[in-house]
Amino acid sequence: MDTWSSVRSLGHHRRADSAKEDEFRTEGIVGHPGHRPEHPDRYHLLLCGQKEVRQENADAASGRIDIVARFIFTSVGWLCGQCRTHAFLFSYRLLCTMRLGVLFSGGKDSTYAALLAQQAGHELCCLITLQSANPDSFMFHTPSISATAAQAKAMDLPHLTVTTPGQEGQELSELHDALRRAQEEHGITGVISGAVASTYQATRVQKACHALGLWCFNPLWQMDQLALLRAIVDQGFLAVITAVAASPLDARWLGRAIDDAFISDVASLATAHGINPAGEGGEFESLVLDCPLFKHPLRVASYQDSGAGHAWRREVRLEAGISEDKQHSPREENTVQPRQTAQTNNPIEQKQTGKQRPTVLLISTCAEPLSEREFVDPFARIVERFGARWIKRHHTELDDRHGPAKERSEEEQTDQQDADAVIICGTALADNAYLEGSTLPSVLEWLRAWDGPLLGICAGMQLLGLAYGGELRAGLEIGLYDEEFEDGISVDGFEDGDSGDGEAPGRESGFLGLTGAQQVWHLHGKYTAFNRLLFSVMAESQKRTDSRSIIQAVRHKTLPHYGALFHPEVRQEQCIQGFISLIRARPDAQRP
């Protein structure tokens, strides 16, 4: 009996007035909701003004309540200057819970991304499904897409469906229209996407969200694909294969459940044939029949297979009127996952054996903890893969260096001495909190005081520039761009004339190993004009909207401080590897 025969017998709403690319937009009250520091008295209030925002929520009463709550919260923040109680943190989470729409295909990725958003404490308001008439659409999932209606009922969520011809040139406008409908009909303030590695999909979702003033969350972004499969199995998902489109996959894979045996098999195929283990290259598609978001499991009534060779698909019809409720609602079981301070990889081993590998302090600039899965966690995985340890802290905690030691835990006091280098990570396009509030001066002071290797990514590069007197300017770039990197610069910050990369003494190869023409991933609405007396510009591109240029990569002339406006965790991991190599080359670095 195959799997198919046995399956369960088987706040507020806002919209920007315009979509001008160079106009900054900020969400009324932003900080880092959900953060639970060990010492709340050291948590500083983050506030930023709301610019050109109008209320369009059909629920006017809810909108008025939201405005009053935000006014009270802002007033208290202005009077107090900083938070000193857990009560504030609790109320802040309530105020900053977002209303999210889920770009939903019915497959494992979009469903798991929705679950992570709910576990982070946000409200899932609706599912948004684009039904493409083109079975080979690059943008939208098509196999068994009609099953999403039954899945929406199982989740007890409104389901917004938009039919599209699936023509490549029209997909962005159709996606934009669908998200705008979700804003108007359900009052969403952000969007959840299940994008894992596709820059084609991620670029279009980010552009549509930015044009509408929506937050965009991709909690699976750059996640290890085998780890992703294990996560959905561990979370109790029942997902089955509905399409295959790669050798050596064939019709026998249709209906197969994603379980431990499946993971083992695709891992072997990834090694032998180079397929993406989670199907990110379109090798296979899936359909979720049960997960913690469902109030009841779904059953397959019938299905029809079509295809030939290594290209097959299964269209599924699910049974209607199922009422087999679970004993516990997933909404009751899933709780908010607060940001963990001073996170480390393998801290027990670190205490027992001391530092045996270089340790990188990963600094989060994310206001929303859910964004850290997209902008910080990929660096943790890459750093560990290249043989280094990591510690993760939020940028608002960097003033610990300047506070009395007696107010800090032993773990916090050792962060400075444990770290051999620093990476300041980026954040969501809609997030401007890292540039606002009472913590910014202490963050900039901390950066100026740090004389070890430092790599600022996007938002981190902007902070690095501000720390040394740079000017922040508007400049929107989303997606893949071709940039030209300088071949090398003179290096004054290394002892004994060793640049650490095998090049001639006093000379560094390119920007952390990047030279010549490179394709890089951008996601920013502003950039920093650096002080060129202090920084060497390693890559510079013509600004897309006027005659000024955008500085893409820099290096401090005397300190090992680097800035990258692009995101090297996407397609340019060798840049991070070059940074780790630089750490190992320093005389004071801990070597294995």
**What are 544-565's pLDDT values in tens digits?**
656 678 999 999 999 999 999 9
pLDDT of residue 187: 96
Residue 330 pLDDT grade (very low, low, confident, very high; cuts 50, 70, 90): very low
Q: For residue 309, which amino acid is it? A: G
| DSSP label of 82 | B
**What are 208-262's pLDDT values in tens digits?**
999 999 999 999 999 999 999 999 999 999 999 999 999 999 999 999 999 999 9
Q: Quick check: 39 pLDDT over 60?
A: no
pLDDT of residue 75: 44
Q: How far apart are CA 49 and CA 63, in angstroms?
A: 18
Is-contact 263 304, C-beta < 8 A? no
Q: Which of 286-290, 332-336, 357-361 has the lowest mean pLDDT?
A: 332-336
Cα separation of the two ends of the chain:
53
**What are 303-325's pLDDT values in tens digits?**
999 999 999 999 999 886 554 55
Is-contact 194 144, C-beta < 8 A? no
- Report residue 422: phi and psi, to 5°: -130, 135
pTM of the model: 0.78
Q: Quick check: 534 pLDDT over 80?
A: yes
pLDDT of residue 342: 46
Q: How far apart are CA 127 and CA 152, in angstroms?
A: 7
Picking from 271, 303, 268, 267, the residue whose alpha carbon sits closest to that of residue 287 is 303
Is-contact 100 189, C-beta < 8 A? yes
CATH number of 99-332: 3.40.50.620
Residue 397 pLDDT grade (very low, low, confident, very high; cuts 50, 70, 90): confident
pLDDT of residue 135: 62
**What are 161-171's pLDDT values in tens digits?**
988 776 666 77
Burial of 199 (0-12, 13-18, 19+ CB in 10 A): middle
Residue 193 pLDDT grade (very low, low, confident, very high; cuts 50, 70, 90): very high
Q: What percent of the chain has pLDDT over 70?
A: 67
Domain ranges of the chain: 11-96, 99-332, 343-585
Give me the CATH topology for the region 343-585. Rossmann fold (3.40.50)
Identify the helix (H) or strand (E) that includes residue 360: strand 359-364
> Alpha carbon 430 to chain centroid distance?
12
Q: How far apart are CA 147 and CA 316, in angstroms?
A: 7
Structure tokens at 34: 């959900």
Q: For residue 418, which amino acid is it? A: D
User: Where is pLDDT greater, at 156 or 7?
Assistant: 156
**What are 471-522's pLDDT values in tens digits?**
999 999 999 999 999 886 554 444 333 444 444 344 567 899 999 999 999 9
